[in-house]
């Protein structure tokens, strides 16, 4: 028990990127005392637990929960600008979210084994990604139509999606397996919807694609291709824009953006990739937008109307609550809401 609480206090401090001295100042105790807390040599008084809870933004339950998850490998390579401190903080944030998530599924006896439908397609060149996407879309029974809500789709396919809001704006997303079997995608919740959709699918690529041993840059290219192909398959690109084109209007691009939830720069990239626009046109497009701020705003505006919000976790909490698997207090702790709010939404 002492060790458990000690670890929780330490991890919470890491989560908030604080030093033992910071915590000591906040509690009005010595740094040595905080160190004792973290080594399991002393345990805080209840009033200090309350202070810790406020300082860390975590409910009291957190400090006493013995349910913990094992995160798979997390690759921070593309976030090289992230300090170790920030990486550790991010890991703790993800862990807390997943602990709650998996605990809840356990409580509801939800168990499943995720199957990767495209693990047998080995990716060696960029064209292989197209095949993999088509296979996946087939396996998932979604044809090649626009996808209304990516998060919902992923959650239906038993991939956990966690949105983080209190994160560095340089953080885009990451993917990993928890406890060696549950696939998870984490995404920056503050992104505009088109960017969120692309990031989610890019990370899905990292989860599912059977990539060769290659350098990071190449891997990122494969995953970008995967995301682009998934959002806006080549077949559809041709259908929407016809054959080779010399000119494309902004109105066409906006209509496509609204229909497929993909950003205009990504559409233009797709057009070049599919051979509809020439490389020359592509660089013309960039020059044009770079020197015309109002055009640049138009091109980068967010327009897709479906908000991408993950709702499964919240749904499960309310389900567990109404089935009396968990108490209102526990629900409020899982949702990080106060009890009063939870009571109001569970009247029926």
Partner 1 sequence: MKIVNNDANILIDLVKLELIDAFSKLDFDLHTTDLVLDELNDEQRTPIVNLNNGKKLTVIETIETTDF
Site residues (CB under 8 A) for partner 1?
A: 2, 33, 36, 40-47, 49-50, 53, 60, 327-329, 332, 338-340, 343
Instruction: Give me 237's structure tokens.
Output: 């690109």
- The residue (of 36 and 259) whose beta carbon lies closer to partner 1 is 36
Please check whether residue 194 is in contact with residue 177, taking contact to mean a CB–CB distance below 8 angstroms.
no
Least separation in angstroms between residue 49's CB and partner 1 is 7
For partner 1, the closer of residues 40 and 265 by Cβ is 40
Q: Please identify, using beta-carbon distances, which residue of 59 and 225 lies nearer to partner 1.
A: 59
- CB of 338: closest distance to partner 1 in angstroms? 7
- Contacts of residues 85-90 at CB distance under 8 Å and 24 or more positions apart, as own/partner, are 85/14, 85/17, 86/17, 86/168, 88/14, 89/14, 89/15, 89/16, 89/17, 90/164, 90/167, 90/171
Strands (E) across 136-290 are located at 160-164, 173-178, 182-188
Min dist. Cβ of residue 3 to partner 1 (A): 10
Report in angstroms how near the CB of residue 36 gets to partner 1 at its nearest.
Answer: 8
What is the distance between the alpha carbons of residues 173 and 83, in angstroms, rounded to a whole number?
Answer: 16
Closer to partner 1 by CB, 53 or 152: give it. Answer: 53
* C-beta closer to partner 1: residue 177 or 318: 318
Question: What minimum distance in Å lies between the beta carbon of 67 and partner 1?
Answer: 19
- Minimum Å gap between C-beta 262 and partner 1 is 45
Residue 301 or 328 having the CB closest to partner 1: 328
CA separation, residue 278 to residues 245, 288, 291 (Å): 8, 15, 21
Q: Cα-flanking dihedrals φ and ψ of residue 133, to 5°?
A: -65, -45
Best CA proximity match to 173, nearest among 183, 163, 182: 163
């Amino acid at each position: 028990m002492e060790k458990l609480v000690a670890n929780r206090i330490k991890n919470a401090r890491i989560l908030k990127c604080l030093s033992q001295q910071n915590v000591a100042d906040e509690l009005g105790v010595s740094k040595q005392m905080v160190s004792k807390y973290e080594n399991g040599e002393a345990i805080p008084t209840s009033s200090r637990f309350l202070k810790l809870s406020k300082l860390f933004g975590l409910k009291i339950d957190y400090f006493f929960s013995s349910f913990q998850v094992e995160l798979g490998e997390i690759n921070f390579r593309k976030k090289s600008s992230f300090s170790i401190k920030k990486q550790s903080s991010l890991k703790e944030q993800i862990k807390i979210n997943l602990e709650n998530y998996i605990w809840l599924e356990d409580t509801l006896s939800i168990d499943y084994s995720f199957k990767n439908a495209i693990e047998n397609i080995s990716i060696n060149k960029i064209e292989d990604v197209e095949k993999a996407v088509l296979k996946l879309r087939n396996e998932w029974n979604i044809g090649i139509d626009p996808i209304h809500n990516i998060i919902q789709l992923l959650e239906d396919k038993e991939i956990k999606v966690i949105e983080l809001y209190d994160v560095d704006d340089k953080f885009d997303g990451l993917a990993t397996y928890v406890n060696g079997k549950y696939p998870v995608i984490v995404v920056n919740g503050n992104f505009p919807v088109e960017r969120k959709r692309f990031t989610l699918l890019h990370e899905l690529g990292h989860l599912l694609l059977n990539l060769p041993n290659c350098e990071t840059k190449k891997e990122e290219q494969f995953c970008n291709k995967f995301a682009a192909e998934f959002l806006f398959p080549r077949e559809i690109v041709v259908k929407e824009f016809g054959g080779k084109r010399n000119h494309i209007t902004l109105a066409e691009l906006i209509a496509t953006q609204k229909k497929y939830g993909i950003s205009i720069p990504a559409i233009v990239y797709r057009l070049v990739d599919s051979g509809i626009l020439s490389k020359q046109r592509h660089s013309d497009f960039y020059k044009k937008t770079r020197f015309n701020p109002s055009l640049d705003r138009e091109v980068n505006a967010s327009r897709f109307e479906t908000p991408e919000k993950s709702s499964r976790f919240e749904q499960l909490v309310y389900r567990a609550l109404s089935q009396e698997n968990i108490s209102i207090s526990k629900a409020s702790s899982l949702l990080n809401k106060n009890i009063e709010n939870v009571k109001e939404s569970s009247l029926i």
